[in-house]
Amino acid sequence: MAALAPAGATVREHLPQTLTLVPQAPSQPAEQPSPIDHVLRQNGLEPGSKKAQIVAAWLEKVHTDPAIKRAVPGGPDALHRILSDANTRDSLMTNGLARLSPADRLRYLKVYTRILDEQVPVNCFGVSDMGEVMDRITLGAMAQGEIEEYLGLLYKVIVKSASSSALPTPTQRQYEKAQGILTRALVNELAGDSNNIERYRYLALHPESATPADMCWVTRVTLHAVLSMPDPYRDFIVLPAMTKDSEIIPSRGKKTDSDFRRPPPTQTP
C-alpha cells in the first residue's frame, strides 16, 4: 500500500482554538465588555456557562502560572502574540507536541479524532484542507470533558515547547516495522475490501484529485488505523507525523533535531 502522505499532515494539524484562547491582559476600562467574555463568545461559549467557566479558569491559569512565564519569555502577552501568528504558533505546537510523552500524544490524537468523528460532516464542510475544516469547530461544540482534556494537553504543549532536548526518533528497523503494522491496520480498518483499498491507495498517491468527501474519508480511515496500532509502534508513526509534513529518515546514531528530514515518497509492501 502507498505511503500515507495525507496521514502526516492530518495527524499533525493542531486544533484551531489555540489561535484565540489566550487573550492579552485586559487593558480597557472596567465598564467596557470583558476581553475574556469576547474570547469565550468567539469560541461558541456563553459567559457564565459551565464550559465557559472551565475555559475562563484555564485562561486565568495561563496568565498567572510560573511555568508559562518560564516557558514563554514575556509571559501571557507574548504567548498571545505567538499564538496569533500562524508561523510562530505552528513552531510552538510542533515543538511542544514532539516533547509530550507518548501517552499524552495518544490522548491528543484521540481528542482530535473524536472531534473529527462527531463534529465534522462526511463532506468536511465542502473543504479539502483539514486545517480549514478544523477551524470551523469551536470549543462550544465540544463536550465538557473534551474541553478539559484538550486544555490540559494544550497547557502541557505550551510548557514543553520551551524544551531544547533532542527529539526521539525510531531506528530504521523500528520505523519500517511500524510502517508494516500501519499497513495491516489500514487493511483491517478497510475490512479487507479490495475496492476501498484501491480507493485509499489512489487517493494517497493523488491527493490533488480528492474531493472534500474523499479527504474526509481518508483522514478518518487513517486516524482510526493509527489508533488501533499497538505501543510503541503507534508513536513511531505519530511523532514524526506531528512534527513534520512528511515522513522522516529515522535516526541511525545520536538523536538530534537534524535527524528529522523529508525523504522522497516511498512504497510499503
Q: pLDDT tens across 205-218, in order? A: 888 899 999 989 99
- Percentage of the chain beyond pLDDT 90 is 32
- Percentage of the chain beyond pLDDT 70 is 78
DSSP symbol at 2: B
The pLDDT of residue 244 = 62
CA distances from 215 to 47, 122, 151, 202, 243 (A): 35, 9, 27, 12, 21
Helices 5-12 and 233-243 meet at what angle, rounded to 10? Answer: 80
Q: pLDDT tens across 132-143, in order? A: 888 788 888 888
List CB contacts of 237: < 8 A, sequence separation 6 or more: 7, 178, 179, 182, 226, 229
Which pLDDT band, with edges at 50, 70 and 90, does 130 fall under? confident
Which pLDDT band, with edges at 50, 70 and 90, does 31 fall under? low
Q: Mean of the pLDDT values across residues 107-119?
A: 89
Rg (CA), the chain: 19
CA distances from 44 to 7, 33, 41, 227, 255 (A): 29, 17, 5, 29, 42
Q: Mean of the pLDDT values across residues 6-25?
A: 39
Task: Answer whether residue 86 shows pLDDT above 80.
Answer: no
Q: How far apart are CA 70 and CA 12, in angstroms?
A: 26
Q: pLDDT tens across 150-191, in order? A: 899 999 999 998 888 888 788 889 988 998 999 999 999 999
Which pLDDT band, with edges at 50, 70 and 90, does 269 fall under? very low
Higher pLDDT, 243 or 258: 243
- Mean of per-residue pLDDT scores for the chain: 77
Q: How far apart are CA 251 and CA 101, in angstroms?
A: 19
Which pLDDT band, with edges at 50, 70 and 90, does 259 fall under? very low
